[in-house]
Structure 1
């Protein structure tokens, strides 16, 4: 089995050059540029370090970062990776297929480029040559760790997401990448500053005890004459490899024997927009319809354009009053997320022409409530992650990132939970579909003032505990308090969201006909 896979991988390597002379030339140039970039990456510590000690610190940080990227990327994008299910028809056991895939995974262009980087490190670091076995052992184990990590993360991703949600997973990875780019820029600027040496040494010591930083820490310890520490680091690395191999075998076994649910025949899957990306379940169908509304209905677009205006006016007012602009960096994003979550507090009235479908078809209230939250959460969570990293960059202290993320996600989830409750408890007249978004209908009865005021006050009251913990963690910068603020903010916000969804669903079930009657009055 391994020999067949080896020949297949060689054929895949050669297929990159087939097709035309121009394609082969382009592929050759791209590979040469990528190999040059790998060598340049190995030269970066030489350019930045002034002595061997600084170079050792940079080697650990850069090496750990590279191996982390190699480990995480296959979870979000594994379209080019072979999987065990593709060889299920072969007369071989799942364990044999799994081991063959693992053994032959090095025959791929990404791993060969990684190998160029590792070999360049071994050549460009003469201090790693004593004792003679340490560099080949540590760098070889680093390569094996990368192979095992790619196999495990790719297999795990295919089991969790499958082909149906692979696009959503790639989108999530892109959002996370964008979210942490400002943080990476800030960390690089801090490291290159006058006081960055101590922070880099502390980070390198911490990363040395991870499997990704252990091979480079082992090489540096051996170069310094501390062989006992080097052996400990190699033990961490070897133990992680054994663990990954032990995890990969059952993942491959389950993947090989698992049968995906076939798609229903006769159902159109193309040109349906968001409905193609959600399954045929009540909450998910409602989510797809709401996302379509947000993309096409001018009423929602006007609300989205208006949300960022309020924080701008607040910042201008604080700036005129003489407030510190750096501290004000914490203000805009929570306000935007609160307004984004709160904007759904009258969504039943906005959807007045279709609410009767939910009631007449017997859809449970919690499915209606959960489906309507999809646009806010799909827009708000990436915004919270990206905005939190930008906020921390402006603040100038990356240590408060957990507390800032906890605060922003809590504000979003609390606002969404309160809106899920009030949209069925106190609906008021809204602009009808097709009308100008700036026209407000008239209706004799309780207007919008009470619903808007009470929902906003309740959201502010409920978000206060999470805001308190986060602000205290930001003022008293300690790792434990920031981690606590992160988990408390996410957990507390999720609790309020679930309660708002369940209570709102219960009200929807009990007062569905009344909701239809109310919406038809002012429709």
Structure 2
């Protein structure tokens, strides 16, 4: 069984090189680039750091992150992994299937890249060569931990989420990656700051006793002559592998005996773009349609590209006036998020050709309002989190990160809430679907100007509380004040957003026929 699965793995690997010359060339180039990146990741600490202790700390932190990634990524993205259920119809015991899948996983590109990185790491660290035996044992166990962990988390993901919720699980993984980016930036900035390696050293000491940091800590301890500590680290690593194996074999047996609830044969499962990633509920379907619009309709893209221009002109004006750079760094992101949320204040007119479907089908107004927020939130929330880390890096004080995140998220949610109401309350003519986004529609006079002004004024007024608490926390830097600004900004924004969706939905339910009449006049 293991040999046959190994041959299947090799055939799957070679499939990328078959076909046209262009496909084979792209596969080869991608493989070489990934292999070069793995080698560079192993030798970069030695090239950048001369101190052996600092290099060992960086190696342990990087190694922990890589093994943890090998453990977590398959839980959220496992479409390309073989699963035990695919072999349930063959005359093989669950134990044989489990062992064969585990053994054949070594013939995969991620495993090859991991082996290249570990081998390069061992060769590029001459201070570890005196502990060659522990080095080989620790790295073999590290590779086994990565392989076993990937198999277990992938199978658990399929059992818990199944095919129905695989798209939602991948979306959750992307959100977690975005949320972790500020932490990565913060960690890098902390290490590079004066005295940063003391903090990194304390973190490495704690990571060393986790299964993900244990193999590297064992090699470093053995190279330093501390065989007892090295044995303890290896025991932690071996114990984690045994635990994963104990989970793996019974889970494979359960997977082969469990029948997943089948999907309706009339439901398309591929080729539908965003509709594959959302469930068949009104708000989610509207969200998928809006995301499709934003990806294909030039009217939305032009508005999106224009949003970063306003903060640039504001910064130039303030810079000419002599404002300090650290203060100016706090301005662009909330302005962009405010404009991003405010840009949806006329989305019903932009989507006028689909309003009749919502009214005719009896779609609740709150579902329409909530679904239309998907593109703005999927762009704005990652922008708020990542942009806040960039902002505090420019300011030079990471203690204010919670307050800045709370302010930016609060401003975005408040602007979205105002748009939910005004797009129903005061729709005005917009560029029709299929027309050039630069065509000015007829009738866009005082009505459009009044609607835009009122929406912006109300958004600015509602954004004052989170901005006030955030600015207060930035001026007087205190831990409690920053946490309060973070919690208040997010909580206040969520409350206002929910109220905006409910009020906008109520207005939509009451004025559905009138909205159809108005939007048909626009068309």
Between 199-208 and 47-56, report the one with greater CA deviation: 199-208
Deviation of 1:282 after TM superposition, in Å, equals: 2.5
CA gap of 1:25–1:519, structure 2 versus 1, over 3 A, is closer
The alpha carbon displacement at 1:171 in A equals 8.1
RMSD: 4.5
Separation of aligned partners in 2, 1:369 and 1:30: 43
- Relative to structure 1, the CA distance from residue 508 to residue 64 in structure 2 (aligned partners, 3 Å threshold; closer, same or farther) is same
Which runs of structure 2 are paired with 1:14-413 in the superposition (5 Å)? 38=38, 41-75=41-75, 77-92=77-92, 94=94, 97-122=97-122, 125=125, 127-128=127-128, 134-158=134-158, 191=191, 196-224=196-224, 230=230, 233-234=233-234, 236-238=236-238, 240-242=240-242, 244-245=244-245, 248=248, 252=252, 256=256, 257-259=258-260, 261-262=262-263, 264-265=265-266, 270=271, 278=278, 280-295=280-295, 297=297, 299-397=299-397, 400-401=400-401, 403-413=403-413
Deviations 1:19-48 (A, max 9, x none): 899999998898788667655544444333
- Measured against aligned partners, the alpha-carbon deviations of 1:337-384 in whole angstroms (never above 9, x if no partner) come to 111112222323443443233122211122211221122223323433
Cross-structure match for 2:428: 429
Stretches of structure 1 lacking an aligned partner (at least 5 in a row): none
Counterpart contact for 2:186–2:389, Cα < 8 Å: no
Q: Between 470-479 and 371-380, report the one with greater CA deviation.
A: 470-479
Change (3 A) 1:472 1:66: farther
d(CA) in 1 for partners of 2:432 and 2:465?
Answer: 38
Report the Cα distance in structure 2 between the residues aligned to 1:219 and 1:462, rounded to whole angstroms. Answer: 56
CA distance in 2, matches of 1:476, 1:233: 44
Contact kept, 8 Å, 1:180 with 1:386, in 2: the verdict is no
Contact 1:302 1:437 in 2 (8 A): no
Question: Please, which moves more after superposition, 358-367 or 390-399?
Answer: 390-399
Deviations 1:54-88 (A, max 9, x none): 23222212322332443344345544422223212
Change (3 A) 1:266 1:144: closer
Instruction: Please say if residues 2 and 104 of structure 2, whose CA atoms lie closer than 8 Å, have aligned partners that are also in contact.
Output: yes
Q: Is the 8 A contact 1:348 1:423 kept in 2?
A: yes
Q: Report the count of equivalent residues.
A: 519
- Larger mean CA deviation between 77-86 and 466-475 belongs to 466-475
Give ranges in structure 2 of 5+ residues lacking alignment. none
Q: Which residue of 2 aligns with 1:441?
A: 443
- Judged with a 3 Å threshold, the aligned counterparts in structure 2 of structure 1 residues 123 and 297 are, in CA distance, closer, same or farther, namely closer
Does the 8 A contact of 1:329 with 1:394 survive in 2? yes
Scaled by the length of structure 1, what TM-score is found?
0.78
1:264-293 Cα offsets, whole Å, 9 max, x none, are 4496965x6655665544323323433344
Q: Is the 8 A contact 2:64 2:207 kept in 1?
A: yes
Contact 1:34/1:113 (8 A) holds in 2 = yes
Output one character per residue of 1:392-438: Cα deviation in whole Å (capped at 9) or x when no partner: 443345565555444333322232223223333x2242336257653
Q: CA deviation at 1:336?
A: 1.0
SS for the counterpart of 1:330 is coil
Contact 1:41-1:117 within 8 A present in 2 as well: yes
1:457-491: CA deviation from partner (whole Å, max 9, x where unpaired): 44345444544555456556677876776566445
Q: Distance in 2 between matches of 1:125 and 1:65?
A: 19
Flag the 1:388–1:48 CA change in 2: closer, same or farther, 3 A. same
Residues of 2 paired with 1:273 and 1:16: CA distance?
24
Structure 1 residues 432 and 184, CA, compared in 2 at 3 Å: closer, same or farther? closer
State whether residues 429 and 440 of structure 1, in contact with CA within 8 Å, keep that contact through their aligned partners in structure 2: no
SS at match of 1:91: coil
Residue 507 in structure 1 maps to residue 502 in structure 2: no
